[in-house]
Amino acid sequence: VCGATGNVFNFVENFLGVSFLEAVKIVADRIGEDFTIRENKEDIKNKKYYDIMNLSMMLYENNLRTAQGEEAKEYLHKRGITDEIIKDFSIGLSLKDPDMLYKLLSKKGISKADMSALGLIAEGENGIYDLFRNRIMFPLKSPSGKVNGYSARIYNAESNSKYINTRETILFKKRENLFNYHLAAPAARQAK
């Protein structure tokens, strides 16, 4: 009736806005067939790093939901960023504590070398410190939707740097990332 053509996989792909392989997986699950999508080799190789970045994102998201995050949340609301947008984009907050993330990740058995390789910490005269402090955190994600870096914005103080972005790391390659690609790609495919 609508003029669309194709098969069941194309229908699921277009209707749900997912990739072809995801559509095949959905259909296979629906009819009880086993179909496993193999992860990208880079994603498999870097799994431990993606897990570390995911932990950091969860901490930042939680911080924004605490009493200490109220001022940052008000700032976002004044800028037209709703709670729904905050959730959809996994926006978080790094607190003033100079080594909160370092302490949390250390307790989880994550090495200083791994944290440093991901651009999360640095070491100075006063010891190890989190690179992102007292900033609203915008996670940057790979084309497959895994957190690979951050753009962090100052919100309540003067600073020489309004934004601090993740440097090039094992996971984050600036030239290979487009903000929100993992969410925009299905919609772009659907709109052709």
pLDDT of residue 41: 67
CB-side exposure of 99: number of CA atoms within 13 Å?
13
The residue assigned the tokens 């030239």 is: 175
Which is higher by pLDDT, 111 or 180?
111
Q: Which distant-in-sequence residues (6+ apart) come within 8 Å of 31 by Cβ? A: none
Residue 38: what pLDDT? Answer: 62
In degrees, rounded to 5, the angle at the alpha carbon of residue 123 between the alpha carbons of residues 42 and 59 is 60
Q: Which residue has the higher pLDDT, 27 or 192?
A: 27
* pTM, full prediction: 0.76
The pLDDT tens digits of the residues spanning 34-91 come to 777 666 666 678 899 999 999 999 999 999 999 999 999 999 999 999 999 999 999 9
Distance of CA 175 to the CA centre of its chain: 17
